[in-house]
C-alpha cells in the first residue's frame, strides 16, 4: 500500500511539473526570444524587462477577465543570440507550451519566425519590436509591431537639417540590413530634397571601437551634417572621435541610437553640438512616462529606454486585445482584438509611457514618434509627431485625446 501511495504522489508531481511548464489552467503563456547574451544582450534584456514588468503588474492586479474567468500571464524567455535558427526553434518550443504570442526585437530573426507563426494548428501572434518598414511588407496576418517605422524619422530629421541650410551630408552608419535600409531611405529623401551625399562609409558598430578611418574619409568630403548610428554605446564613440578629429557640423542619429543614453556616456550634451534623434522616454511630456521611469529604475536599477517602455505598453495592448476578443486561445480572434480594443479606447500617456491610438492594416501600432534636438550642446524640448493621419480632422482628434498638453503634437504629412 505504501508503494502505491508513493507511486500516486510521484505521478501527481510529474503531472504538475509537465502542466506547469505549459502554464496552469488559468494561465496565458507568453514567450520572449531575443539576444540575452553576446554583444546585443543589453538591448535584448531591456525588451524582456519591459514585458516582464507589465506582466508582473497585470498579475498583481488580479490578471484579466475573459468570458467570466480570471486569467494571469506566464512569461517564458529563451536566448537566441540573434541566430534565426535558434529563434525559430525557441518559438516552436513556446508554442508547444501553449504560448499565444512571442515577443522579439530583431528583424533578422523576426522574419524567419514569421514564416512559421501562421502554420495551421500552431498559430501564434508575433509581437514585433522593429522600426524597419520591411516587417509590414511581409503581409503576416498575425503580426503586431509595437513601435513606429523609421520612415517618419527620416523625413523629420532631414527636414531639420535642411532648415539649417545644410545640403551636404555624409553617412557613417552601422553595417547590416537595418543600417542599409536607413542609409538607402535617407539618401533617397535627402537627394529628392536637393541635398548631396558626400560619403557613404558604413562601419561595424557591434565589433569596432575605433572609427577613425570611416570618420576621416567622411570628414574629407567636407559635410555639413553626418548621419550616424547603431547601438548607443558605440554611437557615443563615433561622436567623440568625430569631434576630436575636428568635425564641427551637425549629427543626425538613426533611431537605434538613443541620445539620452549617449549623453550619459559622454557626461552631458555639450560635445554633441547640434544634433537630432529620437526623444528619450522621460523627455516626452507624459505623466505615465515619469511614473514608469520611477517604477522601472527602482525594480531594475538601470536607465529607462524605449526598448523597455514600448514593450511594456505592447504587453498591455496584448492583454487588452485578449479581453476584447473574448478568447484566450483563438489566435485570429485575439489579433482582431487589437482593432476592437483600440476602437473602444486608445492607450494614452496619463497611464502609459507612450501613446498608441490604434493599429494599421499591416499590424503596426499607431504610436506617436518622439523627436528631440540639441542646439549648441543644449537639449531642446521634445516634439511629438503623428505620422498616420490623412486629414486635419484626424490630427485635431488626436490633439483632443492626447495626454501631451504641454508639448505640441505635429502632423508629419
pLDDT value for 22: 52
pLDDT value for 83: 94
Is pLDDT of 12 > 60?
A: no
Compute the average pLDDT of residues 397-413.
86
pLDDT value for 206: 82
DSSP H or E segment with residue 21: helix 2-21
Cell representation of residue 296: 522601472
pTM of the complete model: 0.89
CATH topology of domain 151-281+369-411: Rossmann fold (3.40.50)
CATH of domain 18-149+287-367: 3.40.50.2300
Is pLDDT of 23 > 90?
A: no
Is pLDDT of 40 > 90?
A: no
Half-sphere exposure of 102 (CA within 13 A, CB side): 34
Looking only at the bridges linking them, the beta strands covering 409-411 and 27-34 are unpaired
Query: What's the CA angle centered on 98, arms 95 and 102, to 5 degrees?
Result: 50
Least confident among 11-25, 108-122, 275-289? 11-25
pLDDT in tens, 177-189: 889 999 999 999 9
Beta strands, E only, 24-98: 27-34, 64-66, 69-79
Q: Of all residues in the chain, what percent carry a pLDDT higher than 90?
A: 85
pLDDT in tens, 339-380: 999 999 999 999 999 999 999 999 999 999 999 999 999 999
Report the distance separating Cα 268 and Cα 258, nearest Å.
Answer: 13
pLDDT value for 285: 80
pLDDT in tens, 161-176: 999 999 999 999 999 8
pLDDT value for 231: 86
Compute the average pLDDT of residues 50-72.
97
Report the distance separating Cα 165 and Cα 188, nearest Å.
Answer: 18
CA distances from 113 to 84, 101, 121, 308 (A): 8, 12, 16, 21
Q: Where in the chain is the domain with CATH 3.40.50.2300?
A: 18-149+287-367, 151-281+369-411
Least confident among 14-23, 67-76, 249-258? 14-23
80 and 35 in contact (C-beta within 8 Å)? yes
Report the distance separating Cα 355 and Cα 332, nearest Å.
Answer: 24
DSSP 311-361: HHHHHHHHHHHHHHHT-SS-HHHHHHHHHHHHHH--B-TTTSSS-EEEE-T
Going by C-beta distance under 8 Å and a sequence separation of 6 or more, which residues neighbour residue 20? none
Compute the average pLDDT of residues 388-401.
94
pLDDT value for 407: 65
Report the distance separating Cα 209 and Cα 232, nearest Å.
Answer: 12
Amino acid at each position: 500500500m505504501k508503494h502505491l501511495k508513493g507511486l500516486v504522489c510521484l505521478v501527481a508531481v510529474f503531472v504538475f511539473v509537465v502542466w506547469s511548464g505549459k502554464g496552469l489552467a488559468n494561465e496565458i503563456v507568453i514567450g520572449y526570444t531575443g539576444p540575452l547574451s553576446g554583444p546585443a544582450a543589453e538591448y535584448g534584456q531591456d525588451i524582456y524587462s519591459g514585458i516582464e514588468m507589465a506582466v508582473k503588474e497585470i498579475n498583481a492586479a488580479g490578471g484579466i477577465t475573459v468570458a467570466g474567468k480570471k486569467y494571469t500571464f506566464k512569461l517564458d524567455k529563451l536566448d537566441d543570440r540573434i541566430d534565426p535558427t535558434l529563434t525559430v526553434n525557441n518559438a516552436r518550443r513556446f508554442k508547444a507550451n501553449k504560448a499565444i504570442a512571442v515577443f522579439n526585437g530583431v528583424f533578422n530573426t523576426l522574419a524567419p519566425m514569421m514564416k512559421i507563426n501562421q502554420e495551421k494548428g500552431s498559430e501564434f501572434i508575433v509581437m514585433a519590436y522593429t522600426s524597419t518598414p520591411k516587417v509590414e511588407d511581409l503581409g503576416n496576418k498575425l503580426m503586431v509591431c509595437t513601435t513606429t517605422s523609421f520612415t517618419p524619422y527620416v523625413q523629420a530629421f532631414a527636414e531639420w537639417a535642411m532648415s539649417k541650410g545644410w545640403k551636404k551630408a555624409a553617412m557613417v552608419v552601422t553595417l547590416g540590413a537595418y543600417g542599409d535600409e536607413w542609409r538607402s531611405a535617407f539618401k533617397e529623401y535627402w537627394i529628392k530634397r536637393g541635398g548631396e551625399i558626400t560619403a557613404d562609409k558604413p562601419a561595424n558598430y557591434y565589433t569596432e571601437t575605433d572609427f577613425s578611418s570611416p570618420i576621416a574619409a567622411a570628414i574629407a568630403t567636407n559635410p555639413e551634417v553626418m548621419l550616424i548610428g547603431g547601438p548607443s554605446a558605440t554611437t557615443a564613440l563615433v561622436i567623440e572621435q568625430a569631434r576630436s578629429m575636428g568635425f564641427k557640423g551637425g549629427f543626425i542619429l538613426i533611431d537605434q541610437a538613443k541620445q539620452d543614453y549617449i549623453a550619459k556616456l559622454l557626461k552631458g550634451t555639450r560635445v554633441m553640438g547640434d544634433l537630432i534623434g529620437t526623444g528619450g522616454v522621460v523627455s516626452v511630456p507624459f505623466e505615465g512616462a515619469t511614473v514608469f521611469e520611477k517604477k522601472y529604475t527602482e525594480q531594475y536599477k538601470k536607465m529607462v529606454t524605449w526598448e523597455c517602455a514600448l514593450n511594456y505598453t505592447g504587453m498591455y495592448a496584448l492583454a487588452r486585445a485578449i479581453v476584447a476578443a473574448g478568447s484566450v486561445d483563438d489566435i485570429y480572434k485575439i489579433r482582431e482584438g487589437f482593432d476592437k480594443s483600440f476602437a473602444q479606447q486608445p492607450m494614452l500617456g496619463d497611464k502609459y509611457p507612450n501613446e498608441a491610438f490604434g493599429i494599421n492594416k499591416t499590424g503596426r501600432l499607431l504610436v506617436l514618434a518622439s523627436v528631440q534636438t540639441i542646439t549648441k550642446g543644449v537639449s531642446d524640448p521634445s516634439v511629438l509627431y503623428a505620422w498616420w493621419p490623412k486629414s486635419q480632422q484626424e490630427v485635431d482628434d488626436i490633439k483632443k485625446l492626447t495626454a501631451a498638453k504641454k508639448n505640441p503634437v505635429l502632423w508629419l504629412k
